[in-house]
Amino acid sequence: MSNIYGPILPLQLDPRNTSALVRDMQTKIFLESDGQLNDFSSASPLSAMVEGQAFAQGELLYYLNSLPEAYTLQWLRQLGIQRSIGARAVVEVTFLKQRGFNRSVVIPANTIVSTSNNLNFVLQNEVRIGDANSSAKGVAQSEKWGSVYNVPSETIEKISRNILGLEGATNLRSAQGGKDLESIDSLKAKAFTLLRRRGLISAEDYENEISILAPEASIVKVLSYEDRFNLSEERSSGNVVVCVGDENGEELDSLVRTNIIKSLKPRMPLGNSISLISPKVTPVETTVSIEYNDEEFNGGLDLYSSQISNLITEAIRPQNISLGDKIDYQEIFNAIYSLPFVNKVKKLEFKLLFTQPQGTDANEYCSDLFVSEEVDGICIETAEATINTVDTNYDNTDPIRSYRCYKTTVSLIASTTQAPLTYTYVNKEYDDALRG
């Protein structure tokens, strides 16, 4: 008969809680006294003594049951496995001058700005709004660690001090980078993954390790021999080549890259070497037109359009389109069609844009980001490809390429009048990344 195995469960030396201890003590007293001591009502002095003793014993058991986990954490500490303490969020704050105030306004460093629910951010440097300016920007850091400080745009609204000539402050973009203290369960899972992987062998080993070493690496892929063979322009050394970048496809900081290589080399099989290359992320402009029942859905159209835009932005990002894959037209079409207010998807089109070549003069094009030309006074961006049907003849042959949504134009067409209402959304974070 073959062996049957089960999971190793957390060790608990004594599972009883205070209520169970009270019951056990009452039973013991009753039996040892031959039933003479039997008044365990709430008003009984005996009950007070039993419950007090049970409470003290319960506290002792709590710490006793924590010993196995404490020994585990101490062991991991000896192995050099660290618990992430979290990170503070950073946000760009725009300060607004009062209308008609024609003098400079100075916002001192360490000024506290807050959200309506009192999440505080500390201004890192002095900000000055010049005489002729109406606003100025500064960077603020969250007062404490935690993901709760990754607040959405336009949620900062309070300033800790009164400043002559200052109207207010807000954040035009969401705060980024706030991380929570790593949980004990997460630490143990990470630790035992590392212990199982003393040596790096599989592609998954390398990818998991890099994700731990560089949490900002949203894109990580170990290239196969076929992938490397199909690279047309990349020149890479080493028999282990890893494509790694942030969510925009941008190259990681040089110190981060150096740390990755230094950390991986000692654990690689003898004779192996490693190199890091950056991914290629293609910006995508999406146009979508839907027909809706205006007799049933006659309000909140801006929310409907925003919902479509968010759906597309989430679908077209490197985390959801692996390097070397292509945009799934049918999947996105179906997701839009399944929205309750959508009667018909009349148009869905993806344009893959060319970013300007390095070193070119922005004045050569009518757009400072994408290759384009001016036709009859209108700037038309040159698309590498346009995908507008499920049968569009396009395939991604680049193994280090993914996509990110740059701009989405949403048209909502009323079913009774066929009158369109159009909204345009630009991905602010991606726009900032492309502009450098």
Give 387-420 as a 3 state SS string: ECCCCCCCCCCCCCEEEEEEEEEEEEEECCCCCE
**With bands split at pLDDT 50, 70 and 90, how would you rate the model's confidence at 368?**
low
pLDDT of 359: 53
pLDDT of 250: 83
For residue 375, give Cα distances in angstroms to 18, 285, 355, 356, 379: 80, 19, 19, 18, 6
State CA 127 to chain mean position distance: 29
pLDDT of 199: 65
Secondary element (H or E) of residue 335 = helix 329-337
Residue carrying structure tokens 């981060």: 256
**With bands split at pLDDT 50, 70 and 90, how would you rate the model's confidence at 1?**
very low
Quote the CA–CA distance of 216 and 177 in Å, as a whole number. 9
What tokens appear for 176 in the block? Answer: 């980024």
* pLDDT, tens digit (0-9, with 9 covering 90-100), for 42-61: 888 888 888 888 888 878 77
* pLDDT, tens digit (0-9, with 9 covering 90-100), for 206-262: 888 888 888 888 888 888 877 777 775 555 556 788 889 888 888 888 888 898 888
What tokens appear for 108 in the block? Answer: 């001192």
What tokens appear for 396 in the block? Answer: 């991604």
pLDDT of 109: 94
Phi, psi of 380 (to 5 degrees): -115, 120
Residue 153: what residue type? S
Nearest CA to 138 out of 122, 158, 154 is that of 122
Summarize the confidence of residues 328-334 as an average pLDDT.
94
Quote the CA–CA distance of 138 and 166 in Å, as a whole number. 14
Virtual torsion, Cα 171, 174, 178, 180, nearest 10 deg: 120
pLDDT of 358: 60
Q: Between 3 and 130, whose confidence is greater?
A: 130
* pLDDT, tens digit (0-9, with 9 covering 90-100), for 254-295: 888 898 888 888 878 777 788 888 888 999 999 999 999 888
Taking CA 87 as the corner, what is the angle to CA 175 and CA 170, rounded to the nearest 5 degrees? 20
* pLDDT, tens digit (0-9, with 9 covering 90-100), for 395-424: 888 888 999 999 999 999 999 999 899 999
Quote the CA–CA distance of 137 and 171 in Å, as a whole number. 9
- The answer to whether the pTM exceeds 0.75 is no
What tokens appear for 4 in the block? Answer: 């049957």
Nearest CA to 399 out of 233, 157, 179, 176 is that of 233
Most confidently modeled range among 61-75, 99-113, 257-271, 392-406? 99-113
Quote the CA–CA distance of 200 and 436 in Å, as a whole number. 35
Q: Between 374 and 24, whose confidence is greater?
A: 24
Q: Spell out where 56-102 has E strands.
A: 88-97
CATH architecture type of domain 197-278? 2-Layer Sandwich (3.30)
Beta partners for residue 291, in sequence order? 344, 413
pLDDT of 7: 46
Quote the CA–CA distance of 245 and 281 in Å, as a whole number. 10
Nearest CA to 23 out of 66, 68, 67, 53 is that of 53
**With bands split at pLDDT 50, 70 and 90, how would you rate the model's confidence at 387?**
very high
Virtual torsion, Cα 18, 23, 25, 28, nearest 10 deg: -160
Taking CA 389 as the corner, what is the angle to CA 386 and CA 393, rounded to the nearest 5 degrees? 60
Cβ 220 vs Cβ 243: under 8 Å: yes
Query: Quick check: 164 pLDDT over 90?
Result: yes
